[in-house]
Structure 1
Amino acid sequence: MIAIFLQAAAPESSLMPTMLMMGLMFVGFYFLMIRPQMKKSKQEKNFQSELKVGSRIVTTSGMHGRIAQILEDGIIIETLSGKLKFEKAAISRDFTQQRFPDAATDDKK
């Protein structure tokens, strides 16, 4: 039975549908995976370049603090436990009042 399949002639089809399908897959991967990742990376670089002394931030590990100094090779963050040095890439997001309101400023009367 296997001999019948091995002796059968290969179908004579064009490579055009295969190439078209591979091209469509590449375009799909670009728009679904590569492009959004590049956009996110660009936003992170822009955010990190706009950091300034006194900004309240959150690191990727979840540590909250205020920027005390900006150095060439990193950032010194002042936390409740003291001053710590981090890389700029470790800054995850801005700690704004709109996103994280302080409990001390709430007026609950």
Structure 2
Amino acid sequence: MNDRAMIAAMAMQGLMEWAYEVDLSPVHVAEMSVTFADALLAELSKTDQQNKKVESDWVEWNGGECPVHEDAIIEYRLRNSMFSIKGFRAKHLQWNHHNNRSDIVAYRIIADQDSCKTR
């Protein structure tokens, strides 16, 4: 079971426990469950679309010479982190890989595109 399915199952169980405590009829519980499931699926779909848009800006990086203009302001991700770091000029970063936690594995340009042309 993936994380999203587990969260949905836990939320549904909480709804069922609450419905039992307040003594709702099985018909009301079924109607609420369907409404809840529809709302949850709609929200998950919306989140997926937002994540795809954000993720589409990222360029996977396998190491080598700096891939952008040295004065480009970028955001980057390191091998050891799910979080990104932003606001650094490309020339101040280590672009080569050394097979350690601090290797840059993805980047995206966050400054004006005119001043950040790809080499």
TM over 0.5: no
Structure number with higher strand proportion: 1
Structure number with higher helix proportion: 2
Q: Which has the higher contact order (CA 8 A, sep 6+)?
A: 2
What TM-score, normalized by structure 1, do the two folds share?
A: 0.44
